[in-house]
Structure 1
Amino acid sequence: MSSPHIPDEVPETLDEVRRLEALAFNGWPALESRDVGGWRLRLSGGYTKRANSINALGSNFSTDIGALEAPYRDRGLVPAWRLTPLAPQEIAPLLTDRGYRAIERSLLQVCPLHERFQADPAVVVSDTPSPAWIEAFVTHSPVRPEHRETMQRMLQAIAQPVGFAFVQHQGRPMAMAIGAVEGDHMGLFDVLVMPEARRQGLAQRVTESLYAWAWERGARRAYLQVVATNAAAIPLYAAQGFRTVYTYEYRVPPTS
């Protein structure tokens, strides 16, 4: 697994990385955030890695691993380090020396939006998730029972405007996604196509409907985070115009 400090494409500046990180934090909000020693600690009861991770965002970074992990261990959570190009170079070797392992590498990608992205009439985009949307998300994401209340609280906290895209056929969920607009950017999150509905172009229809929805609300660029091994999604995003700006990886302690 390659280091997050050697991205697929070198960002123009670390300020660009910092700006995209801040947008993504708002687009997928944690229930609790703390800024400690240059790091943003995000805590959400263990629901999703993104919302329960240690993230570089500031400067003058602390390397006191024990102190930075304490809020997670105090809650019985596994401390996950999310290492982006903002992370100080010395932190990865320190974690390696302690036996931490990388569990996932992901790409932060961006794409210019334009008027040619068209909304599909079968895709309903609502500003709140319907009960059917929630049930489909819980089932197909999937969300464990103990995390369902946290999940709904996080959805309610997403920066406005937010669009919940949904496709149903004869009352059955087919595909869904979330778009969150902040300024001239739209974040794309949790694109899900149900197993029986795959290979029908639904991922493209849902995402491009959200791009059109976001364009109407002033967004001119989209960003997303995708696991580097997602062989189904990455070609679609490339065809839509997405490019990798930087990579990041999660590291967890050896007892995890």
Structure 2
Amino acid sequence: MALSETDLTIATSDGTVRVPLDEVHRAKRVPPTRRPTAADVVAAEIAANEAWPAPVQETQGGWLLRAAGGWTGRANSALPIGDPDRPLPAAIDAVEVWYRAHGLPPRMNVPLPLAAPVNAELDLRGWTTNPLTLFQTAQVAAILESAPDRHDLPAVRVRDRMTDEWLAVAAARKGTPPAVARHVLTAVPEIAFLEVYGEDGAPIGVTRATVTGGGEWLGVALVDVVPEHRRRGLGSHLVRAAARWGQEIGARRAFLQVEEHNAAAVALYNRLGFTTHHTYLTRTAPS
């Protein structure tokens, strides 16, 4: 965009458009969005790792190698968030050896733009790419201020232990999870399992909340509502309840991860005040 004494020039996908100033009724100059620092991305990723803990974890310099029997990409991928203490090609070679030794396909969750050089090297090696994931954040206070409380909806129950009923709703799309999933889902000191129940006494919506990162970060995951009860606002009802729980513990910032193409979920989280902090790609080595 450019501004002269007579015109406002705007670059669009169809080319440059000039608008006479006397036809502009209102305008506001918006500064460019500030990118998070590398240190902030690393801190957020560490908090997210603590919130989704793989039972097997090793370090390779500043990289983290994680294995959980193949259950979920996050718990079975390397996280390149620092210096691997060796040249990049050798570091990726070591990742491939480590995962194959654990009976898993070599996989990496590559934060962008932080680990762009890693992503470029994986391109050269022909690693496949999953859909882009958005790492979104919000101030906990902003989530609570995003909408009034919904007293017309069932109250949210907050438990410190996972129940079989909660797991049945959370795992409905992917089937019964393996035993290792219980470690990933529960091995966090500050954790809550939230449920909303229907009139028949069965859970109709769930989510999971954690506080990690030294008490700074509220993590929200597995927001799910059974199909026949969707479009009632239960998803945001659950997230706001998670925010209240996190605020009571002292968390100030919240994060979640959502695939970019999941438009309904992205829209829900945007309404709650979440914006994209950074992105990541899940890359898998050729078989």
Retained in 2: the 8 A contact 1:17–1:86? no
Hey, what's the Cα distance between the residues in 2 that align with 1:107 and 1:220?
20
1:171 aligns with 2:195: no
Cα deviation code 1:62-81 (max 9, x no counterpart): 42222112221122211111
Cα deviation code 1:53-108 (max 9, x no counterpart): 01112225542222112221122211111111375443223222222121121111
Hey, what's the Cα distance between the residues in 2 that align with 1:46 and 1:9?
37
Higher relative contact order (Cα pairs below 8 Å, separated by 6+ residues): 1
Show the counterpart of 1:79: 106
Task: Indicate which of 185, 210, 222 corresponds to 1:180.
Answer: 210
Retained in 2: the 8 A contact 1:57–1:86? no
Retained in 1: the 8 A contact 2:113–2:278? no
| Structure 2: runs of 5 or more not aligned | 1-31
Task: Give the residue type in structure 2 aligned to 1:190.
Answer: L
Hey, what's the Cα distance between the residues in 2 that align with 1:60 and 1:119?
48
Task: Give the residue type in structure 2 aligned to 1:99.
Answer: G
Task: Give the residue type in structure 1 aligned to 2:39.
Answer: D
SS at match of 1:17: helix
Compare 181-190 and 47-56 and name the one that shifted more.
Answer: 181-190
- Which structure is larger by alpha-carbon Rg, 1 or 2? 2
Task: Give the residue type in structure 2 aligned to 1:14.
Answer: A
Please provide the CA RMSD for this pair: 2.1
**Count of residue correspondences:** 244
1:36 aligns with 2:60: yes
Show the counterpart of 2:74: 50
Kindly report which structure 2 residues correspond to 1:159-238, keeping only aligned pairs within 5 A, or say none.
Answer: 160-169=189-198, 170-182=200-212, 183-238=215-270
Compare 238-247 and 73-82 and name the one that shifted more.
Answer: 73-82
Hey, what's the Cα distance between the residues in 1 that align with 2:207 and 2:85?
35
Shift of 1:10: 5.6
SS at match of 1:148: coil
Cα deviation code 1:183-211 (max 9, x no counterpart): 13201111111122211111011111111
TM-score by length of 1: 0.87
Hey, what's the Cα distance between the residues in 2 that align with 1:105 and 1:86?
12
Hey, what's the Cα distance between the residues in 1 that align with 2:219 and 2:173?
18
